[in-house]
Amino acid sequence: MIRVARNMILSANSEIRHATLKDTANIIKLYFAALPEMRKLGLKEIQSVFQEMDENGNRTGYFVRKLNYGKFYSDMNEHRDRQVDIANEALK
């Protein structure tokens, strides 16, 4: 049973990685296709067009995709911190 669950998780992770690589490759192709025109327009920070922004308008460092990775990791860290706080309170 545990092996089946493990294999399902590994398979899902593999599919996500494959989709992410495919999306990233498409974004890079678009970036290089748009680069000459964007330079003609005088845009200096061309790569910023392809980067995610957080709630405060700061770049996360991740490419724009269906899943906002910056928000995902921020939410995950907040959830983990809440769980640690709950565990610490229970140990008191």
pLDDT along the chain (92 residues), means of 10: 73 73 81 82 73 84 79 88 91 82
CB neighbourhood size of 49 (10 A): 12
What's the domain count of the chain?
1
What pLDDT does residue 59 have? 85
Q: How is residue 59 annotated by DSSP?
A: E
CB neighbourhood size of 20 (10 A): 15
What pLDDT does residue 13 have? 66
What pLDDT does residue 57 have? 84
Dihedral angle of Cα 23, 26, 50, 68, to the nearest 10 degrees: -10
- Tell me if residue 49 falls in helix, strand or coil: helix
For tokens 């495919």, the residue is 22
The sign of the dihedral angle between the CA atoms of 70, 75, 78, 79 is: negative
* Helix residue spans in the chain (DSSP H): 2-40, 69-91
Domain that holds residue 23: 2-91
